[in-house]
């Protein structure tokens, strides 16, 4: 079923139905099928031919995102099987991913839980908080909340300085090079992406605890965003920085900007501060409008623009975030009907081009602007997860976009 060309409230009704169907009949069954019943957690590599590598290493960030996904799917759908999957991810996390001696979360472990890479990326700590907070909300497991609060203290005490958040440390949190979160040929001392997801994690932790300390951390993050990350002259976020927040590359990350727009709005709504709302909403409105005009071709979103050259690849997560971001923009301002149409067009592109039509598969990683696959990328790897596309479906279902 396609929503393209259908107008009005019926369109959103159909979109919500399609999102629920896709979530329950494609995404959830696929990830449930990857449960590792021998060693715990989930298999973390499926190649393009749908072969599962049962002995591939397990990225701790993938396990956290799976925990987050099943926790939120349970809270939406109230299916006890989903809570059991979230519990499975939690058991693996606390047994193998969490460093009980030094605190924090390892980057990866072997298929059987043996430590593979013990670097402590702040980004990874954030996703652990995000997952544990949601798992607590779903299960009321106090141990999960305790771990989330412990990792919050780790970030605040060992992963930041007087300027903001650091990127990576070794097992004892002594600074190391930021390999995993630096791209495009640069090694960054600070990144927009880490700040964004620390904010996202703290927002969820604040939502379930109301802790004043977490609120103050969120207010600090918003200040870093407005003072250093958002570039009002270019109507975008800068991405990679030196230690003093000087941008080290001319890069416009379209997916991160549309994702930031709605995640920042979510944070402001959770905080309930009218002053912050008046300060931030014009910025997130600007990010959404710029992405719509600059990167959206009427049916899908380009990846990024580096040094004036646009990468036209259609990446799976960028498309998912575009749907939420444009729906969020329309929800804030119903005069922006073009945003609703953009979300519907993007959904249509995803269903026809990004979703792998083979039985037992999920989403392709990337296609060209014409919708044709570019290369045989794996269907699952440590970065390819149910976090973006699953969240997209859940946001569609939950959002009230009626005019």
**pLDDT tens digits along 151-168:** 999 999 999 999 999 999
* Tokens describing residue 26: 């494609």
In this prediction, residue 5 carries a pLDDT of 44
pLDDT at 390 over 90: yes
* Tokens describing residue 362: 């999920």
In this prediction, residue 403 carries a pLDDT of 45
In this prediction, residue 108 carries a pLDDT of 98
Bridge partners (DSSP) of residue 35 are 42
* Tokens describing residue 160: 């930041």
In this prediction, residue 402 carries a pLDDT of 63
Handedness of CA 330, 25, 130, 228 (dihedral sign): negative
Structure-model confidence comparison of residues 4 and 189, the more confident one: 189
- What CA–CA distance (Å, rounded) separates 336 from 176? 45
pLDDT at 7 over 70: no
Q: With left for phi above 0 and alpha for psi between -120 and 50, is residue 322 left, alpha or beta?
A: alpha
Report the candidate in 138, 146, 134, 122 with the shortest Cα–Cα distance to residue 68.
134
Report the candidate in 91, 128, 88 with the shortest Cα–Cα distance to residue 107.
128
Report the candidate in 163, 154, 161 with the shortest Cα–Cα distance to residue 122.
154
**What b-and-e string marks burial along 202-229, b requiring 16 or more CB atoms within 10 Å of the CB?**
bbbbbbbbeeeebbebbebbbebbeebb
In this prediction, residue 401 carries a pLDDT of 66
Q: With left for phi above 0 and alpha for psi between -120 and 50, is residue 237 left, alpha or beta?
A: beta
pLDDT tens column, 196-255: 999 999 999 999 999 999 999 999 999 999 999 999 999 999 999 999 999 999 999 999
pLDDT at 2 over 60: no
CA 116 to chain centre: 24
């Amino acid at each position: 079923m396609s929503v393209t060309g259908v107008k009005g409230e019926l369109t959103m009704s159909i979109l919500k139905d399609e999102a629920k169907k896709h979530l329950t009949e494609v995404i959830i069954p696929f990830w449930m099928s990857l449960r590792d019943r021998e060693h715990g957690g989930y298999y973390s590599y499926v190649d393009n031919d749908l072969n599962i590598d049962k002995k591939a290493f397990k990225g701790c960030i993938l396990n956290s995102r799976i925990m987050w996904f099943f926790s939120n799917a349970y809270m939406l759908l109230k299916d006890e099987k989903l809570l059991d999957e979230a519990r499975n991810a939690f058991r693996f996390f606390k047994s193998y991913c969490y460093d009980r001696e030094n605190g924090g979360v390892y980057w990866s472990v072997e298929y059987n839980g043996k430590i593979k890479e013990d670097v402590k990326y702040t980004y990874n700590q954030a996703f652990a908080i995000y997952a544990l907070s949601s798992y607590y909300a779903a299960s009321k497991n106090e141990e999960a909340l305790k771990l989330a609060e412990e990792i919050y203290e780790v970030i605040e005490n060992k992963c930041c300085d007087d300027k903001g958040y650091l990127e990576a440390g070794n097992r004892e949190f002594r600074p190391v090079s930021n390999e995993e979160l630096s791209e495009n040929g640069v090694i960054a001392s600070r990144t927009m992406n880490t700040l964004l997801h620390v904010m996202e994690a703290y927002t969820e932790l604040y939502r379930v605890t109301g802790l004043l300390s977490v609120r103050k951390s969120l207010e600090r993050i918003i200040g870093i965003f407005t003072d250093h990350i958002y570039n009002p002259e270019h109507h975008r976020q800068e991405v990679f920085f030196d230690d003093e927040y000087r941008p080290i590359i001319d890069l416009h990350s379209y997916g991160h900007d549309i994702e930031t727009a709605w995640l920042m709005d979510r944070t402001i709504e959770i905080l309930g501060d009218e002053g912050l709302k008046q300060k931030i909403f014009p910025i997130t409105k600007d990010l959404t409008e710029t992405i719509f005009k600059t990167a959206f071709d009427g049916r899908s979103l380009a990846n990024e623009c580096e040094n004036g050259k646009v990468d036209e690849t259609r990446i799976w997560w960028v498309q998912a975030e575009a749907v939420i971001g444009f729906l969020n923009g329309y929800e804030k301002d119903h005069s922006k009907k073009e945003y609703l149409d953009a979300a519907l067009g993007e959904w249509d592109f995803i269903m026809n081009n990004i979703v792998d039509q083979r039985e037992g598969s999920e989403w392709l990683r990337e296609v060209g602007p014409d919708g044709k696959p570019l290369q045989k990328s794996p269907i699952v790897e440590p970065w390819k997860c149910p976090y973006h596309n699953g969240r997209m479906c859940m946001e569609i279902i939950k959002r009230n976009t009626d005019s």
